A = this chain, B = another copy of it.
Amino acid sequence: MIIKFTKNVKDTQIKHIESILKKQNFTTTYINGDVYKLLVVIGDTTQLETKRLNVYDFVEDVINIQKPYKESSVKDKRKIKVGNVTFNDDNIVLIAGPCSIEDEKSMDLLVPKLINHHTHIIRGGAFKPRTSPYSFQGIGKIGLEILNKISKKYKTPVISEITDVRDIDIFIKNVDIIQVGARNMQNYVLLEELGKTDKPILLKRGFMNTIEELLLSAEYILANGNKNVILCERGIRTFENQTRSTLDISAVPVLKKLTDLPIIVDPSHAAGHWEYVESLSLAAIAAGADGLMIEVHENPEFALSDGQQSLKPNNYFSLVDKIKLIAKAIGKKL
Residues of A in contact with B (beta carbons under 8 Å apart): 2, 4, 27, 29, 31, 33-36, 38, 40, 42-44, 46-47, 49, 51-56, 61, 63, 65-66, 68-70, 129-136, 163-166, 183-184, 186-189, 192, 206-213, 216, 219-220, 223-224, 236-243, 246-254, 256-257, 270-271, 273-276, 278-280, 282-288, 300-308, 310, 322, 325-326, 328-330
Contacts and interface: CB of A to CB of B under 8 A. Distances in A.
A279 B275 contact: no
Number of copies: 4
Nearest to A26: B33
Contact of A35 (B66, B236, B276): B66
A219 B216 CA distance: 31
A55 B274 contact: yes
B163 A216 contact: no
A239 B242 contact: no
Contact of A329 (B49, B183, B243, B328): B328
A26 to B, nearest CB: 10
Contacts of A56: 301
A100 to B, nearest CB: 10
A65 B63 contact: yes
Interface-central residue, A4, A69, A242, by most chain B CB under 10 Å? A242
Nearest to A184: B187
A52 B306 contact: yes
Given A34-B43, A63-B65, A328-B329, A189 B216 contact: no
A319 to B, nearest CB: 12
A255 to B, nearest CB: 9
A297 B129 CA distance: 37
A187 B188 contact: no
The 8 closest A-B pairs by CB, nearest first: A208-B208, A52-B307, A286-B286, A33-B42, A253-B279, A283-B283, A282-B286, A54-B308
B253 A275 contact: yes
B279 A252 contact: yes
Given A35-B44, A240-B248, A253-B278, 5 more contacts: A33-B42, A206-B208, A282-B286, A283-B283, A283-B286
A216 B301 contact: no
Contacts of A304: 49
A31 B35 contact: no
Contacts of A186: 129, 131, 183
Given A133-B223, A210-B241, A238-B236, A165 B165 contact: yes
A313 B55 CA distance: 13
Contact of A129 (B188, B273, B303): B188
